[in-house]
Amino acid sequence: MEHITTPKVENVKLLDRYTDRKAANGTLYLTATHLIYVDASADVRKETWILHHHIVSVEKLPLTTAGYPLLIHCKNFRVAHFVIGQERDCHEVYTSLLKLSQPAKPEELYAFSYNPKVSKESREIGWKLIDLKVDYQRMGIPNDYWELTDVNKDYEVCNTYPPEIVVPRAASKAVVIGSSRFRSRGRIPVLSYLYKENNAAICRCSQPLSGFSARCLEDEQMLQAIREANPGSPFMYVVDTRPKLNAMANRAAGKGYENEDNYDNIRFKFIGIENIHVMRSSLQKLLEGACRPCEWPLFFTPRREKLCEMKSPSMSDFLTGLENSGWLRHIKAVMDAGVFLAKAVKDEKASVLVHCSDGWDRTAQVCSLASLLLDPFYRTFEGFMVLIEKEWIAMGHKFSHRCGHLDGDPKEVSPVFTQFIECVWQLMQQFPCCFEFSERLLLEIHDHVYSCQFGNFLGNCHKEREDLKIFEKTHSLWPFLLEKKQELRNPLYKGFTAYKELQPNTLPFSFQFWCGMYNRFDKGMHPKQCVLDYLLKCMSQKMNLEDNASELENKLPFLDGPLPSEGSSLSKVGHTTLKTPMLNTPQGYEGEPPPVLSNGALMGDVDVPSGVDQKHKENLPHHRDLQDLSDAPHMLDSEVKGGKPQHH
């Protein structure tokens, strides 16, 4: 609180960029963790909460006739444009936000002060909820070819890997240690995913320290052990996710890529995903071009009582900005790499070793996407959390640096994890029935990567989290998300066994601009109704009515007088009356989606559907989890089959 000199400012205007509505007028509050804006001009109390850690920049704009503008950009792509009446108030809010949004020490992060009022035992259980050993056991590890070893328990092999890693059983400790000395930052080849159908494996590592001619016997033996762990294939792929020119430039620095002449039976391939600096620039161009194409001309016209008027972006401006950013080309490159890995493993039955430079950015993207394509478990709630924990958190993606959690080098910041989340969303557009969760889960996770409210994404590796005592002092995100499972689920999900491997189309026309991510807080840009939200609401109402019907049936034997013979069919009547109107009355749905964020989001500025009472909410997670959900796609299938033939 020492950074806050003015905790409350009245008569602050909040501008809306994409609608013609009158600017909101209200009170701005600064707390230790949030900026809170309360709209006093609304009929119903509306609050906008912005977490300090979400703020990426604060800018004072030139004075206007309306007051002193303050423009705030957030890491979750919210843009808040305030106009404050007094220059002193504006400057003090500006100064406070600069300090509050850029903590210098890890101990100042929100996670270390966040207290959800749960017991110590519950917090410890939350951290044990995701157990990677269980996932390896699900893959059939340990087995004759692979073992889970604690060779890195003291971080003597690699200080950015977890204490336990999966390596070929044929690789001795001497081979492991020797290979680590030949790999950048000691990041040796380790198992990422084992495809049990044919024993093909996806492994990951960093680039070799090969230069122009150096070689390492132990590293060559390590790759041979990986290849021989898959007896069904005479070769293995080694995939460098970098553009070839970048990899060749690294050779001059004593690094580089594998020489096929030195490794037996490998097939080497470049993929061509650009580095973190290109991706950071691309996102900036996307936000400036496609997402923020309009100017902010401020003027005050008393006759019209409007503070600002937004210049609507033209279709040409939007498409030009999107093209110039190159963002979707980069998303396609990442997706193409994941598809190549999945096809190599499934169709060619070959193991694949993947690396980029240090093996914690592009490598994490590609390995996790390939696993998602191959294994339906990772498309469930728990499976997706396991995937992120295994490929991103445990294997040392530098969340603290890439997300800019602390005041540091801005060149280390890059939207690597954002790209992965978007790739998952692009898959969900092509396969809407294959994921147990909706895009809301993706947005929740993305928000909390930057919120620093939970300890999962703090630090750059497992060792740093141990040093910060994350597991003793902070809470895990995963139990929090599982409690919200009902509102984050996908009503079109057909179940775990409906789809095995996914084969997405990666032609250019298959990729869409994700308005729900990059313009999420610009309400004027979103459709008035969302089909999936409406379907979820209808299903919740249906289950609520079924519970009420069951409760009434239980009360019938206690009534005086003879029971009507039709009484026992009460619930059946409920079923009959519910099925037809559900899909025929979308016009009756007036509510907006419930808020996604627990902080920094829409506390009071959304209308929350009220189809479920509190008692029913508590029982929802235990109520016919998938049966009703699977009804929806079946009904859609029957509509298609009963209608006109489909043309492909």
The residues that are catalytic are 356
Please give the Cα distance from 502 to 505 (Å, whole number). 10
The DSSP symbol for 59 reads: E
CA nearest to 73, candidates 309, 274, 292:
292
As given in the structure block, the two tokens for residue 604 are 């009071």
Host H or E run for residue 452: none
Sequential DSSP letters for 407-440: S--GGG---HHHHHHHHHHHHHHH-TTS-SB-HH
Residue written as tokens 């030195």?
A: 262
Q: How many whole angstroms from its chain centre is CA 372? A: 14
Give me the phi and psi of 556, to 5 degrees please. Answer: -55, -45
Give me the phi and psi of 51, to 5 degrees please. Answer: -70, 135
SS3 of residue 151 by DSSP? coil
Host H or E run for residue 242: none
Please give the Cα distance from 79 to 296 (Å, whole number). 12
User: Residue type at 145?
Assistant: Y
Contact 97, 55 (CB under 8 A): yes
CA nearest to 535, candidates 491, 498, 574:
491
CA nearest to 426, candidates 329, 530, 491:
329
Q: How many whole angstroms from its chain centre is CA 419? A: 9
Residue 13 CA: distances (Å) to CA of 29, 40, 71, 408, 520: 13, 10, 12, 32, 21
- The length of the chain in residues reads 648
Q: Is 461 left (phi over 0), alpha (psi -120 to 50) or beta?
A: beta
End-to-end, the C-alpha distance of the chain in Å comes to: 62
Please give the Cα distance from 247 to 340 (Å, whole number). 19
Host H or E run for residue 379: none
